[in-house]
Amino acid sequence: MPVKKSVLVTACAALALSLTACGGGAAKAAPKNAAGETTVKIMVGGLEKQIYLPVMLAKQLGYFKAQGINVELQNEPAGVDAETAMIAGQVDAVVGFYDHNIDLQSKGKSTESVAQLLQAPGEVEMVRSDQADSVKSPADFAGKHLGVTGLGSSTNFLTQYLEEKNGVKPGQATSVAVGAGSTFVAAMQNKQIDAGMTTEPTISMLQQKGLAKPLIDMRTTDGAKAALGGTYPASCLYLTTGYVQKNPEAVQKLVNVFVQTLKWIQGHSAAEITDKMPADYYAGVGKDVYTKALDNEKGMYSPDGLMPADGAQTVLKVLSSFDPTVKGHTIDLSKTYTNDFVQKAK
């Protein structure tokens, strides 16, 4: 199924995170197409990643159409670029990590998560095989090049937290933006990075090729709690607060879609879920390996779309440990997410 690739307007993107950015005007009412469907543009920080699987699954199941939503999906490998596109007004919504809402509030931008898709990050810190004997914990990251999807991305946030938590001082390790999938694999193969944080199916690609080994596994809630100190809500649907206030009916329809999709995931096997996905999503590793990886981490998906009770506070704690725009500043977590739409959907 074809997916649009985003094209960012350079001038707008450069200004997007300032308070006077080109996306800083009043939110507009969501347009309707000739069929009377509400058109919504959603950018995803890597559609093919299993952590964002509910988006394409919802489309494959026909749930957007059933809600009267004409959804336009756009793909951007790094979540930080997706948030920039939304703030710039190029898309209406983002499916990315919840942590961006806290980071954006600290920069004067008001956005909010309206449906939580993951209750664990689904991320794994992978160490290059020839470095596995010398890098046995994040305490060994000093002097290393560490792969992340993009600078300012959620993988970058989590990597910096692991460094700080394990005594690696700022500047001692180098974050390298290498994307995901084939570009991440190539960076590992070409020894551009010593370790890196990524998700399935990239993890399975690396293991198939014998290029890297898991160091820190956050594909389960228990793994995330061990690494991050609490429940760490990750992928979510988030929008600007202005859009939510201007278009509550459209937002409710979107949330209905994702709550229904999460329920469908809970009631079906990894094999049944894989059967619904486009074949190119698992072409790099093979259908069997993709299915096995999905089965191993299926518990990361939220069962209901609600923000976990300790989730927002855990994310704030993580960001406050290293992010200078968050650390020492007052963050109103109640404005970074809402459960109202999910509760109405239920």
- pLDDT score at 106: 94
Q: How many domains does the chain have?
A: 2
- pLDDT score at 148: 95
Residue at 198 is within a domain = yes
Among 155, 183, 218, give the residue marking a domain's end.
218
- pLDDT score at 11: 34
**Whether the predicted pLDDT of 27 surpasses 90:** no
Q: Verify that 54 and 66 share a domain, yes or no.
A: yes
Among 186, 218, 250, give the residue marking a domain's end.
218
> Hey, what are 1's tokens?
């199924």
Domain that holds residue 192: 123-218
* CATH number where 87 lies: 3.40.190.10
Give me the mean pLDDT over the 317-327 stretch.
92
Q: Verify that 210 and 241 share a domain, yes or no.
A: no
- pLDDT score at 328: 84
Q: Verify that 39 and 86 share a domain, yes or no.
A: yes
- Compute how many other C-beta atoms are within 10 angstroms of the C-beta atom of residue 140: 18
Q: Verify that 237 and 337 share a domain, yes or no.
A: yes
Write out 129-152 in H/E/C secondary structure. HHHCCCCCCHHHCCCCEEEECCCC
Q: For residue 5, give Cα distances in angstroms to 75, 76, 328.
A: 5, 7, 37
Q: For residue 269, give Cα distances in angstroms to 59, 287, 331.
A: 18, 14, 39
Residue at 226 is within a domain = no
Q: Verify that 237 and 116 share a domain, yes or no.
A: yes
H or E, element range at 43? strand 38-44
Handedness of CA 130, 134, 136, 139 (dihedral sign): negative
Residue at 34 is within a domain = yes
Among 183, 218, 253, give the residue marking a domain's end.
218
Residue 5 pLDDT level (bands cut at 50, 70, 90): very low
Closest of 148, 125, 151 to residue 136, by C-alpha:
125
Query: How high does pLDDT run on average in the chain?
Result: 90
Please, which residues have CB within 8 angstroms of residue 23's CB and are 6 or more apart in sequence? 12, 16, 86, 87, 88, 89, 90, 240
Residue 79 pLDDT level (bands cut at 50, 70, 90): low
Q: Verify that 113 and 127 share a domain, yes or no.
A: no
User: Which pTM does this prediction carry?
Assistant: 0.88
pLDDT tens string 329-342: 899 999 999 999 99
Q: Verify that 98 and 156 share a domain, yes or no.
A: no
- pLDDT score at 26: 65
pLDDT tens string 237-272: 999 999 999 999 999 999 999 999 999 999 999 999
Residue at 21 is within a domain = no
Q: In what order do the strands lie in the sheet with 4-5?
A: 4-5, 69-75, 38-44, 93-97, 235-240, 111-116
Q: Verify that 209 and 262 share a domain, yes or no.
A: no
Give me the mean pLDDT over the 273-291 stretch.
94
- pLDDT score at 14: 39
**Whether the predicted pLDDT of 8 surpasses 70:** no
Residue 336 and residue 112 in contact, taking contact as beta carbons nearer than 8 Å: yes
Q: Verify that 105 and 131 share a domain, yes or no.
A: no
Residue at 224 is within a domain = no
**Whether the predicted pLDDT of 82 surpasses 90:** no
Residue at 20 is within a domain = no
Q: Verify that 133 and 69 share a domain, yes or no.
A: no
